[in-house]
Amino acid sequence: MSEERVNYPFAKFLDQHSPQLNASAVPPELWHSLYKKLSDQTFDAGDHFQIICEMSDNDEKHFFVRALEDMHNNDEENIFLVDHFFSFPDGSARKYVESTDGLTERLAVLFGIDKDTCEADDTVEKFETSNEQEEKEHADRSCGDIGNLPRHESVDARLGSYSLDDPNEQLTDRVMKELWKYTQSYTVSYPLENGEFDKRSVWYVMDNFGARIRHSSLPNARVIPLMFVPQNCFYSIMFLTKPVETDEEIVRDFAANVHTHQHPEWRKYFETPWVQQDFSGESLIPTPPTVEYFTSGRNEDHLASDTDQITSHSALFSSIPLLKKRKIKVFADDTQLTEHLTKDIEYVDDWKKSDVIWMIKHFHDYGDLAAENPCGMINQFPYESCITVKDLLASCAMRNPSKNNWYQLTYNLTTELPQFVACFQQREKKGQHNVWIVKPWNMARGLDMNVTDDLNHIIRLVETGPKIVCEYISRPLLFPRPDNGNKVKFDLRYIVFVNSLQPVTAYVYNKFWIRFAIK
């Protein structure tokens, strides 16, 4: 037994990794072999597989992996480590490719887009990015003192790597176009200052072996990411899902995700990056949202009865003379917005005993409010999420696209992916503007936003969480900043007080804010 395994027993490996292995459905009979290979840093795929390069009639290179022997998926040794060649956070792919010396050329070789005859190289170079350093720092914070095992670079250089001399100025564009056929993703959690945790998606390209495994809807292998806790870093692991014969190609299913499980009929759209099809003749009209869409997975707002609303309205106006004679009682779940209110203010711990309820969290029990605190005023109104949450606002705005001339064309990729793909391909054929901004509807501060004209890129982004995609305003009104010379976007922030919905009665505070971007 190696010294590494003596210091890091199998029981500890199971304690730290069984949740990941179970969640990824790795067969338990393979766990001990995986433990040995991770602990000993055994990269032995080259002993069992071979990378083949085929040249097409137009001199394009096509790589694939084949088995060198008959292999069975139940053989406990048939699980293999795959190193990560390059990783980057959401929205930063081009930045990392362009800012890392030599990465464009190496990725071009890996993707087989060079047209010159390439010579074999002895080494497999791994590019470290600042994102990987962040992963290590995150793991240090999360895992504590668990002991470290040495991490060695992949020794599967015998599988082959190549050098490239391509002076094409558009090489980066070609690399970025191919990138989304090869990337995979995982999610890391990191602590916030308030003690809560946030999540971020990380994309990665595997090494020369992993990147050569092609897509098939009838796979015989699976490849999944795994964080190896002692080293605070990620690997991928490949294992067979059925027996293979000598010279049989090893293939995996890139399109296997939660969406194809929920919507099997969508598989053909998710396979677009690897299997080109024309969907431009299909319907591109977004599906009108159902009531279930607005309520599914969300806390429903409970309204007061008409009688209780009338009673509350009357009680509120009757109480105004009393409020003027005493301090106003305020309940707030966060004092950031109210901490400077000191005159005639008294804070209470129970919203049922307050005059003003000021909440950052969504409030849903309007029926209880009317019944138990009829004079209470709250800084929210029922179903306001239809205006304040991105996907619901888009669904309301796009309810009748033919009458919409004020809201950018928007699709919810969780429910309208087929219509978006048809729309994109139809616009592409017509040469129309086809740049889109992809946003997670459940995040803020510009996190995880991408702007792209690449359909493959957009389809792959669906894998990292719910997204909406909007036609990008490529010529926005910009403000020239004299302090740094940049022309920047800006927005206007108003405070609006709504005190009646039927009829709608609202007041706008006569001071508003203009917020300017920096870059």
Higher pLDDT: 404 or 145? It is 404
Higher pLDDT: 90 or 455? It is 455
Q: How confident is the model at residue 1 (pLDDT cuts 50, 70, 90)?
A: low
Question: Does residue 488 surpass a pLDDT of 70?
Answer: yes
The C-alpha atoms of residue 268 and residue 425 are separated, in whole angstroms, by 14
Q: How confident is the model at residue 504 (pLDDT cuts 50, 70, 90)?
A: confident
Please tell me the predicted confidence (pLDDT) of residue 460: 95
Q: How confident is the model at residue 237 (pLDDT cuts 50, 70, 90)?
A: very high
Question: Does residue 384 surpass a pLDDT of 60?
Answer: yes
The answer to whether 189 and 197 have CB atoms below 8 angstroms apart is yes
Question: Does residue 26 surpass a pLDDT of 80?
Answer: yes
Pick from 298, 299, 303, 316: nearest CA to 381? 303
Please tell me the predicted confidence (pLDDT) of residue 467: 92
- State the average pLDDT over residues 100-125: 68
Q: What tokens were used for 509?
A: 């505070």
Top mean-pLDDT range of 188-202, 263-277, 321-335: 263-277
The rounded percent of the chain whose pLDDT value lies above 90 is 50
- State the average pLDDT over residues 471-485: 92
H or E element in which residue 200 lies:
strand 197-206
Q: What tokens were used for 356?
A: 């003003």
Q: How confident is the model at residue 114 (pLDDT cuts 50, 70, 90)?
A: low
Question: Does residue 59 surpass a pLDDT of 80?
Answer: no
Please tell me the predicted confidence (pLDDT) of residue 286: 80
- State the average pLDDT over residues 424-447: 88
Please tell me the predicted confidence (pLDDT) of residue 157: 33
Q: How confident is the model at residue 227 (pLDDT cuts 50, 70, 90)?
A: very high
Please tell me the predicted confidence (pLDDT) of residue 485: 92
**Helices 103-110 and 171-179 sit at what angle, rounded to 10 degrees?**
50
- State the average pLDDT over residues 423-450: 88
Please tell me the predicted confidence (pLDDT) of residue 41: 93
Question: Does residue 160 surpass a pLDDT of 50?
Answer: no
- State the average pLDDT over residues 133-155: 42
H or E element in which residue 30 lies:
none
275's CB contacts (< 8 A; 6+ apart) are: 215, 268
The C-alpha atoms of residue 470 and residue 458 are separated, in whole angstroms, by 11
Higher pLDDT: 35 or 120? It is 35
Please tell me the predicted confidence (pLDDT) of residue 454: 95
DSSP class of residue 248?
P
- pTM flag (> 0.85): no
- State the average pLDDT over residues 87-91: 83
Q: How confident is the model at residue 168 (pLDDT cuts 50, 70, 90)?
A: low
DSSP class of residue 363?
-
Please tell me the predicted confidence (pLDDT) of residue 129: 43
57-61, 304-308, 315-319, 460-464 — which is least confidently predicted?
A: 57-61
Q: How confident is the model at residue 169 (pLDDT cuts 50, 70, 90)?
A: low
The answer to whether 86 and 185 have CB atoms below 8 angstroms apart is no
